């Protein structure tokens, strides 16, 4: 008897199948120094791997996730899982990040709440959660921590680092911080620095959390969590991930479960109910303090200041990576112009860069959604970079 | 933008030395750069305005950025390429003068090839039939033609003289469908379908450009 395909998705030929998150703990004896001047240790980093590392160790690709992501990029944790990993559309046998050919690592970040050391973790010195005593971290700190993971896996040089949004920020920092360890990189939906617009939305999201009485200065781990504030923060974020056109197409002015206006303040438009749903869903899987720390890391991101003394071209001077950079025409959170600035800075430095702008209504979220042009570009770029690296060409 | 996609390829491949750093402006689907990689082991860079063109180039392992050559050349440093190629594309640009200045600045050498607008077939068509050229080289109707700055071999020769651009070599040619290019030495402005110039761009830098 044939089984229903939706029940056995983890057995599908293009799925990595059942996977499990692994954990690396380091900096136990000597804590890691952070950009803010403080130290952190011990540090645990959650990660998943798919595919096999080849003998030459030349096929390893590091995937880096966005703000609300996790180490779980592909496959399923259990046969009953409703959803696969966050980039399952792109990672698996025969997919652009082809696990038949490449060894894929997806690393979580410090400051996160899904397996790695973050504000919700227990501070070994006090035996209580760090909460706001957790040091403020930067994208550079995340990358420094991931370097330990790549060392641990015995990989000298990555075939590629790749990510979108906050993941692309990490990938960019990887290329600049460890130029000799990155052969190529795939940079999606990001800019060289967080814009005033981006900081503005993040600040409103943080204020939503601060205003929730349950937040209690971050000290809520034994109490009622600030779910209202976090849900509101997520709703604000979701607006910035869509485009005006997409919202119009998807929701328009349609009402949710009713035919006529109710002349009241209950949620009645579909877009309202969509945002509420996204907010509530998020509260069950994310920690409010982590949201504060990670949005702060986004806001601090500025390649020019971090690596170029204010100059973007100088920041890219020493990179050795080849680049595939893609922006999305309707992404207003990280508009194409910011990506183009980076492309131009790289070209001015004589670096090898492929760039194009994908026409889409999917907004900032576009890099997560199935897209033939994006999928082909990643597949072809990786294929060529793998060939060049292994031909020594 | 042309009927025969490999126009002048053989001449260009012969001209470019092994291992050169090459920038192809308006590189389309990247066929020329890919041939140069195969035969001459060049470092391939390109600029192409269409997303579909760039996608094709990625498949071939080329480094191509989607941008407009009318605007996107100023970021390159002086003499940062051994060769800059503009093959059958100059006549499509909005500001050919500006594009030429940038080519001479960023390239140690430049290869410029374009359809010769006063090729005998075109002259006869215009004189005898009285309509805009309709040839395999220039197949577009007036209302849809991307060729907005058509030029003759004589025009371009004079232009180079007036700007002081040293012409190292010319190989004006004819090329039939599916054929190899044949260099026309006899009255090329009349009998060559395409102009082909190799220019020396070494001494043209940003400071010289500004003085002009």
When pLDDT is averaged across residues B30-53 and rounded to a whole number, the result is: 96
- Give the Cα separation of A41 and A70 in Å (integer): 21
Give the closest residue to A58 by CA, choosing from A302, A386, A337. A386
pTM of the complete model: 0.93
When pLDDT is averaged across residues B14-42 and rounded to a whole number, the result is: 97
Give which of B58, B76, B80 to mutate to test A binding, by max A Cβ within 10 Å: B58
* pLDDT band at residue A370 under the 50/70/90 scheme: very high
- Give the Cα separation of A29 and B178 in Å (integer): 71
- Give the Cα separation of A60 and A154 in Å (integer): 10
Q: Looking at A141, A173, A299, A331, which residue is catalytic?
A: A331
Chain B: closest CA distance from residue A379 (Å): 9
Helix (DSSP H) and strand (DSSP E) numbers for chain B: 8, 9
pLDDT tens-digit map of A41-87: 999 999 999 999 999 999 999 999 999 999 999 999 999 999 999 99
Beta-strand pair B21-25/B43-48:
parallel
- Give the Cα separation of A229 and A227 in Å (integer): 5
Residues 6+ apart with CB under 8 A from A300: A35, A138, A139, A194
The pLDDT score that the predictor gives to residue B5 is 67
Give the closest residue to A66 by CA, choosing from A378, A291, A306. A291
Query: Nearest 5°: CA angle at A100, between A96 and A101?
Result: 75
Contact A37, A139 (CB under 8 A): no
DSSP E strands in chain A: the ranges are 22-26, 32-33, 39-40, 43-50, 60-64, 91-92, 97-98, 103-107, 122-123, 128-129, 160-164, 184-188, 322-328, 353-358
Structure tokens at A270: 């579909």
Q: What percent of chain A has pLDDT over 90?
A: 94
Report the residue from A354, A359, A373 with minimal CB separation from B65: A354
The dihedral of CA A306, A308, A309, A312: what is its sign?
negative
Structure tokens at A261: 């206006």
Q: What percent of chain A has pLDDT over 70?
A: 98
- Give the Cα separation of A183 and A179 in Å (integer): 8
Contact A176, A303 (CB under 8 A): yes
Query: Which chain A residues touch B67 with a CB distance below 8 Å?
Result: 340, 343, 355
Residues 6+ apart with CB under 8 A from A245: A330, A361
* pLDDT band at residue A3 under the 50/70/90 scheme: very low
Residues 6+ apart with CB under 8 A from A270: A251, A252, A254, A255, A256
When pLDDT is averaged across residues B159-173 and rounded to a whole number, the result is: 97
Structure tokens at B139: 């197949």
pLDDT tens-digit map of A322-341: 999 999 999 999 999 999 99
- In terms of C-beta distances under 8 Å and separation of at least 24 residues, what long-range contacts does A80-89 make, across chains too? A81/A10, A84/A9, A84/A10, A84/A15, A85/A19, A85/A48, A86/A368, A87/A63, A87/A368, A88/A15, A89/A368, A89/A369, A89/A370, A89/A375
Query: Which chain A residues touch B63 with a CB distance below 8 Å?
Result: 322, 352-354
Contact at CB, B66 and A357, closer than 8 angstroms? yes
When pLDDT is averaged across residues A244-262 and rounded to a whole number, the result is: 93
Contact at CB, A355 and B66, closer than 8 angstroms? yes
Query: Which chain A residues touch B43 with a CB distance below 8 Å?
Result: 352
- pLDDT greater than 60 at residue A215: yes
Place of tokens 């971290």: A137
Query: Which chain B residues touch A376 with a CB distance below 8 Å?
Result: 55, 58-59
Chain B: closest CA distance from residue A249 (Å): 24
Instruction: Report the SS3 class of residue A210.
Output: helix
Contact at CB, B76 and A347, closer than 8 angstroms? yes
Chain B residue closest to A323 (CA)? B63
Contact at CB, B59 and A380, closer than 8 angstroms? yes
**CA distances in angstroms from B148 to B43, B95, B117, B140, B151, listed in the order given:** 31, 10, 12, 11, 10
Please indicate whether residue A331 is annotated as part of the active site: yes
The pLDDT score that the predictor gives to residue B209 is 45
- Give the Cα separation of B9 and B212 in Å (integer): 33
The pLDDT score that the predictor gives to residue B71 is 85
The pLDDT score that the predictor gives to residue A7 is 58
CB atoms within 10 A of CB B149: 15
CB atoms within 10 A of CB B135: 13
Query: Which chain B residues touch A387 with a CB distance below 8 Å?
Result: 61
pLDDT tens-digit map of B136-146: 888 899 999 99
Give the closest residue to A358 by CA, choosing from A341, A388, A336, A342. A336
Please tell me if residue A347 touches chain B, with a CB cutoff of 8 Å. Answer: yes
pLDDT tens-digit map of A5-46: 555 788 889 999 999 999 999 999 999 999 999 999 999 999
Please indicate whether residue A165 is annotated as part of the active site: yes
Give which of A321, A347, A376, A384 to mutate to test B binding, by max B Cβ within 10 Å: A347
Give which of B41, B54, B65 to mutate to test A binding, by max A Cβ within 10 Å: B65
Phi, psi of B44 (to 5 degrees): -90, 120
CB interface of B with A, residues 38-97, below 8 Å: 43, 45, 51, 54-55, 57-67, 72, 75-77, 80
What number is the ipTM of this complex?
A: 0.89
- pLDDT greater than 90 at residue A393: no
CB interface of A with B, residues 294-323, below 8 Å: 322
Residues 6+ apart with CB under 8 A from A95: A14, A89, A375, A379
- pLDDT greater than 50 at residue A151: yes
Residue with more model confidence, B188 or B211:
B188
Contact at CB, A384 and B58, closer than 8 angstroms? yes
- pLDDT greater than 50 at residue B175: yes
């Amino acid at each position: 008897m044939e089984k229903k395909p939706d029940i056995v998705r983890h057995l599908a030929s293009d799925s990595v199948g059942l996977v499990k998150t692994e954990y690396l703990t380091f900096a136990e004896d000597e804590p890691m120094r952070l950009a803010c001047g403080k130290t952190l240790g011990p540090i645990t980093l959650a990660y998943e791997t798919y595919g096999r590392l080849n003998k030459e160790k030349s096929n390893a690709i590091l995937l880096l996730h966005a703000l609300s992501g996790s180490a779980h990029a592909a496959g399923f944790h259990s046969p009953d899982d409703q959803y696969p990993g966050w980039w399952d559309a792109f990672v698996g046998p025969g997919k652009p990040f082809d696990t038949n050919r490449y060894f894929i690592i997806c690393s979580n970040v410090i400051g996160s709440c899904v397996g790695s050391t973050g504000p919700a973790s227990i501070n070994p010195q006090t035996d209580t959660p760090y909460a706001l005593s957790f040091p403020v971290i930067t994208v550079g700190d995340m990358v420094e921590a991931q370097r330990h993971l790549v060392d641990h896996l015995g990989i000298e040089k990555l075939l590629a680092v790749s990510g979108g949004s906050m993941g692309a920020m990490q990938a960019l920092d990887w290329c600049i911080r460890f130029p000799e360890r990155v052969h190529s990189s795939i940079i999606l939906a990001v800019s060289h620095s967080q814009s005033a617009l981006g900081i503005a939305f993040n600040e409103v999201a943080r204020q939503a959390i601060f205003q929730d009485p349950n937040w209690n200065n971050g000290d809520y781990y034994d109490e009622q969590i600030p779910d209202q504030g976090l849900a509101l923060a997520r709703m604000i974020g979701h607006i910035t991930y869509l485009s005006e056109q997409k919202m119009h197409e998807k929701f328009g002015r349609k009402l949710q479960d009713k035919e006529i206006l109710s002349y009241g303040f209950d949620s009645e438009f579909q877009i309202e109910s969509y945002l509420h749903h996204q907010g509530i869903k998020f509260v069950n899987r994310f920690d409010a303090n982590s949201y504060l720390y990670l949005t702060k890391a986004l806001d601090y991101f500025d390649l020019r200041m971090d690596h170029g003394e204010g100059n973007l071209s100088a920041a890219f001077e020493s990179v050795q990576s080849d680049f595939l950079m893609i922006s999305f025409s309707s992404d207003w959170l990280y508009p194409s112009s910011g990506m183009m600035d980076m492309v131009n800075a790289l070209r001015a430095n004589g670096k090898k860069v492929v760039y194009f702008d994908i026409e889409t209504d999917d907004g900032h979220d576009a890099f997560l959604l199935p897209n033939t042009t994006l999928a082909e570009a990643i597949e072809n770029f990786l294929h060529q970079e793998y060939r060049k690296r292994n031909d020594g060409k | 933008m042309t009927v025969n996609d490999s126009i002048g390829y053989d001449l260009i491949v012969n001209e470019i030395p092994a291992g050169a750093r090459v920038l192809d402006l308006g590189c389309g689907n990247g066929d020329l750069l890919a041939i140069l990689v195969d035969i001459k082991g060049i470092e391939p860079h390109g600029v192409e305005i269409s997303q579909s063109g760039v996608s094709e180039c990625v498949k071939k392992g080329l480094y191509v950025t989607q941008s407009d050559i009318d605007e996107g050349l100023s970021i390159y440093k002086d003499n940062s390429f051994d060769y800059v190629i503009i093959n059958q594309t100059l006549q499509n640009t909005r500001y050919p003068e500006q594009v030429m200045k940038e080519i001479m600045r960023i390239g140690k050498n430049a290869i410029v090839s374009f359809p010769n607008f006063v090729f005998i077939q075109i002259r006869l068509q215009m004189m005898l039939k009285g309509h805009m050229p309709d040839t395999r080289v220039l197949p577009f109707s007036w209302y849809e033609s991307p060729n907005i700055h058509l030029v003759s071999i004589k025009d371009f020769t004079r232009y180079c003289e007036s700007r002081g651009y040293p012409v190292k070599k010319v190989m004006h040619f004819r090329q039939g469908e599916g054929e190899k290019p044949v260099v026309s030495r006899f009255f090329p402005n009349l009998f060559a379908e395409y102009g082909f110039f190799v220019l020396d761009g070494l001494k043209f830098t940003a400071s010289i450009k500004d003085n002009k």
